Structure 1
């Protein structure tokens, strides 16, 4: 492997030059020499108009030949405004990593190339991974890439509308419907609406909460984000440099309000999306909204973006005997503060992040807390273990790190997270041994892939320890297994071993129903069946129906962490813009 900076850059430049020549024809024999037998190509809209990952040299060649003629990629070059080519270690493999730029017939893109030697071909450097990602559409660039808008002239019309008048009129939609209706005003909704705004797509966000940011503000009192501030910026407006490493929920909620105002996003609070039906001939939705004052409004947008994150429908497990309990039962979404439960006995059912945090909050208010485990749970200390996955964001630019995150194919991402999980287990050994001693059931994800893949497949099943695990291990917070409960009674539970465990509060930290349930409720069975599963990985190597065209034209989904929403909102917005400009069909 090359070490000198000049040699590394030359190797990357030579590969890109050969690739451009080979793909222009396309020349199968020349392309074959450029890809390692173990190689991966992830294309994010640039050549295929899909989010897709292709594994193996032969498969990559077949796909490249199909898409290269239409897309006409060219002008591949190392991007001088990005991190310079360098040796890196990704998924345990040392490679030369280079960030490049290129153009296609319709757009401009960025990519990442990683080269490794092919021992079967005299250690010739060949592509191990290749990312090609669309950044912008020619002729339809984002507004922020243009000169600042003049707005109102310095020569003012004192009798005409001012900026605030125009903003309020725009947000009222008195004489028009939006092109895009975004359902949900959390980080997903804000990110996609901000991207669409910059692409000049008329977009309205609707959210059932009464105030922007309430989807964070109304969560339990002690909540802060579990990953660090440098990972979590929204598009275009990074958090100020004086912000804390872990952002408190109310601080984030207030930022959401400021973001909507600063980015001039149209946002209706207190608005419930009740139903939607699609007119195939007209290519529009008919959606029913219930407004804050109880009035109804029917709109006909061309696109509906579901940005509700989890469905918002609490998952209430079927526990028939729970009706016997005469105390207070709350779902975790209803829990706010432990102060009213000071000196009282509480059971918290569920051992994910919410269950642990609520148990710890109750304990801090001097409640007598028992944590009830229903299934094995991954536990990792919030520092340093849980932050290992974000190590790249501690250096370099946000744009570079987002592109690096986008570039990792699923196979290698799994490999990386197996290694990180093993590292975490070693770092957290003392804590994990303590939990095992008190009977806590641990797991490390499917195939040892850790918390990140639990999130991507299940949306939960893990806990970032900020102290609750230590309390459980010490016995300060008691632990029982759900399977050891015989029945619920008026004042608590009877255990199978014949003792009563008293309780005045039961908190169900049992998560939420999947998105498919919400789709069926809002759009009906036919559309839900047509769309199919949402989130998680199916037979392909991309999240199902996320950030891309779905089998239902005009229906889109975006969800995830702030980082996921920041990254993928760009690609979702580009697809909507391409459809609106006639560059892309409505259906995948």
Structure 2
């Protein structure tokens, strides 16, 4: 079921939610929301997967536990399932507001406040822009080199990858980035030695798609800071020896997967980090009817391939 042609190239949130509702209705799917999987184990006696889930309405304490059985089990929890916040010395002493990027709603609540965003992936980059647009005194802590690309550059790269070698496209992406954004080191940023698409394929690291943040960095409306050393009260000490006080800290530090905590008895398909052990493109199928989709770090294209492979395999084994 395709996204309607009336939608723009970059589909807005509300339009995408409507598409999901239409998808569910069209295929007669009945999702069970507000459930937390506690365990999943293959039962040798019944040759079925036994899944225990807790009902957690509105984040409250679970009211009851449910049991599900299935001949097949598809792990589709995604690459970004559980928010991750790194341990920082003295973080517990911070007196201001602390949150993960998943909790962030809008920068309008932070006008005239000093806010530190930790992490310069796409979430951190866009949250910083929203904060600056709403009058917050915004800083972003950048620990690692990043590729900054425009939407147009990324679209061109994705098209060229269908016809040209990855290394050639990566070299072109870096050249275009330098032409558009210039010398980023003047503003406290550095570029990786590896190309943007290589990093995505090899390590699942996405390039930063700039939607206006970089111009705010150039004007000083967003301050770029190095990695954090420690926190004392509301004062944050950075690797360059400088210290600044903040009213709020927002962790845009990514996610980790908790699959290994509830998936029991699988020693073949997924590793402790919740990613496939077998190499792509043979990563999607395990043993005893166990599958995974969208975990190969290949984006939506890879997830679509997984879904088709799994559907065909299940059909053959019914």
TM norm structure 2: 0.87
Asked if 1:320 is matched to 2:89, the reply is: yes
Matched residue SS, 1:531: coil
Out of 378, 381, 384, the position equivalent to 2:150 is 381
In 1, Cα distance between equivalents of 2:276 and 2:199: 9
Q: In structure 2, what is the Cα distance between the partners aligned to 1:544 and 1:563?
A: 15
SS at match of 2:183: helix
- Which residue of structure 2 aligns with residue 469 of structure 1? 214
Do structure 1's residue 425 and structure 2's residue 174 form an aligned pair? yes
Paired position in structure 1 for 2:260 = 520
Shift of 1:521: 0.8
| 1:576, distance to aligned residue in structure 2 (A) | 1.3
Give distance in 2, aligned partners of 1:431 and 1:345: 30
Give the Å deviation of 1:481. Answer: 0.8
Tell me, yes or no, if the aligned pair for 1:321 and 1:489 is still in contact at 8 Å.
Answer: yes
* Shift in Å, 1:292: 5.3
Equivalent-residue separation in structure 1 for 2:249 and 2:231 (angstroms): 11
Quick one: distance in 2 between partners of 1:244 and 1:489?
Answer: 46
1:262-285: per-residue Cα shift (whole Å, max 9, x none)?
221121122222211111343201
Please state if 1:442 is matched with 2:225. Answer: no
* d(CA) in 2 for partners of 1:561, 1:497: 36
Q: Which runs of 4+ in 1 moved over 6 A?
A: none
Aligned-residue offset at 1:543 = 5.1
1:574 partnered with 2:312:
yes
1:537 is displaced (CA, Å) by 8.5
Give the match's secondary structure for 2:90: helix
Q: CA RMSD in A?
A: 2.5
- Mark the CA change 1:423 to 1:311 in structure 2 (over 3 Å): closer, same or farther: closer
Given the alignment of the two structures, is residue 261 of structure 1 paired with residue 261 of structure 2, yes or no? Answer: no
Task: Verify the 8 A CA contact 2:118 2:252 in the aligned structure 1.
Answer: yes
Q: 1:555: which partner in 2?
A: 290
Given candidates 139, 148, 164, the residue that maps to 1:370 is 139
* Inter-partner Cα distance in structure 2 for 1:563 and 1:508: 28
State how far apart, in whole Å, the 2-side matches of 1:480 and 1:537 are: 37
Any conservation in 1 of the 2:108–2:134 contact (CA below 8 Å)? yes
- The answer (yes or no) to whether the contact 1:536–1:544 under 8 Å persists in 2 is no
**Are 2:150 and 2:210, in contact at CA under 8 Å, matched by a contact in 1?**
yes
Give the Cα separation in 2 of the matches to 1:287 and 1:315. 25
Q: Please identify the structure whose Cα radius of gyration is greater.
A: 1
Structure 2: give runs of 5+ residues left out of the alignment.
58-62
Please give the secondary structure, in 2, of the residue aligned with 1:370. Answer: strand
What does residue range 225-304 of structure 1 map to in structure 2 within 5 Å? 237-291=1-55, 294-304=63-73
Alignment of 1:398-413 (within 5 A): none
Give CA-to-partner distance per residue, 1:383-435, whole Å, 9 cap, x none: 1x11123327xxxxxxxxxxx96xxxxxxx9x722211211222221444331
For each residue in 1:451-481, what CA deviation from the matched residue of structure 2 results, as whole angstroms up to 9, or x when unmatched? 3x43334333520111112222332211011
Deviation of 1:569 (Å): 1.2
SS of the counterpart of 2:70? Answer: coil
Q: Secondary structure at the match of 1:255?
A: helix
Equivalences for residues 32-43 of structure 1 within 5 A: none
Match of 2:253 among 487, 510, 519: 510
Q: 1:574 to 1:544 in 2, by over 3 A?
A: closer
Q: Which SS does the other structure have where 1:268 is aligned?
A: coil
How much has 1:300 moved relative to structure 2?
1.1
Native 8 Å contact 1:431 1:469 kept in 2? no
The change in CA–CA distance for 1:266 and 1:315 in structure 2 (over 3 A counts) is: same
Distance 2:185 2:289 in 1: 49
Q: Structure 1 residues 461 and 374 mapped into 2: Cα distance closer, same or farther (>3 Å)? A: farther
Answer whether contact 2:141 2:224 (CA < 8 A) is retained: yes
Pair 1:245–1:567, CA change in 2 (3 A) = same
Return the match for 2:158 from 390, 399, 404: 390
Contact 1:457 / 1:537 at 8 angstroms: preserved in 2?
Answer: no
Tell me the distance in 2 between the aligned counterparts of 1:286 and 1:306: 13
C-alpha displacement of 1:305? 0.8
- Say if 1:314 and 1:444 are closer, same or farther in 2 by CA, change over 3 A: same
Using the alignment, how far apart are the partners of 1:287 and 1:536 within structure 2?
A: 20
Question: Would the alpha carbon gap of residues 455 and 280 (structure 1) be closer, same or farther in structure 2, given more than 3 Å must change?
Answer: farther
* Distance in 1 (alpha carbons) for counterparts of 2:75 and 2:235: 39
CA contact (8 A) 2:88 2:229 kept: no
Quick check: 2:107–2:130 contact (8 Å CA) kept in 1?
yes
1:535: Cα distance to partner? 4.3
Give me the whole-angstrom Cα distance separating, in 2, the residues matched to 1:435 and 1:356. Answer: 15
Alignment of 1:139-178 (within 5 A): none
User: For the residues of structure 1 that align with 2:128 and 2:188, how far apart are their CA atoms?
Assistant: 17
Shift of 1:254: 2.1
Return the alpha-carbon distance in structure 2 between the equivalents of residues 496 and 273 of structure 1: 40
Deviations 1:71-130 (A, max 9, x none): xxxxxxxxxxxxxxxxxxxxxxxxxxxxxxxxxxxxxxxxxxxxxxxxxxxxxxxxxxxx
Q: Distance in 1 between matches of 2:285 and 2:262?
A: 19
